[in-house]
Homo-oligomer: A and B are copies of this chain.
């Protein structure tokens, strides 16, 4: 189907088409498409933009990754489909960053398809295609990781992660930075540094902040991060957008469509909320 740029939801329709396409190529599983929908809903409620609080979290994330001994970013099918280029940029911006394929629904061909997508986007070294270690506390395949990657990492960036796995990584004493649009998800609640933002926007801001620090750890230690305040801010943002929406009938910036509304002869009945 051809998408019209005049459609009120053009941007998210494009992302959806991209995900559906990645699904056809074996990169994204059906469950990943459902997860994308959940993310979309929360992004919509957040006004589809990075909040000041999320941007602060992204800058601290850049510092933590730069200060880490063994930083790693975990990449699943949705991350590869949505933000492979941003992952490649992050690997360039953070010296020593390991990039590891880590799949909830793992098959060999799928792990290779995700790795291919990452390499095509410019990631030079991809771990996790043939896992060499197991993290305790998780059933079967979901626990399989790379000994030189997630297994030994001190700081793990886990975009769009499953709650069980985020909790298992934290239980191993790793510092977990999550990117998850749901401030109430188990992943967001388990993370040391929960970033409540869309994955592309979040990674771009982390890359920008790491670049601004010249790729060097500055400050050299990991600044404390108030995770509760970050999650409370995200909930407050949603609540604010909702009360605005209740007054106006839609969320976020006014859509282009608004100027194209025609009268539909409904006998004076109001068809929309004011």
Contacts and interface: CB of A to CB of B under 8 A. Distances in A.
Of A105, A170, A270, A271, chain B has the most CB atoms within 10 Å of the CB of A271
Most buried by B among A36, A37, A239, A245: A37
A76 to B, nearest CB: 15
A189 interface: yes
B266 A41 contact: no
A260 to B, nearest CB: 12
Given A16-B31, A243-B239, A266-B170, A273 B37 contact: no
Copies of the protein in its oligomer? 2
Interface stretch (A48-56, A149-157, A209-217, A228-236): A228-236
Given A37-B38, A189-B271, 15 more contacts: A8-B186, A16-B31, A20-B29, A20-B34, A30-B30, A34-B37, A34-B40, A35-B37, A38-B38, A41-B182, A170-B266, A189-B250, A190-B271, A228-B270, A242-B242
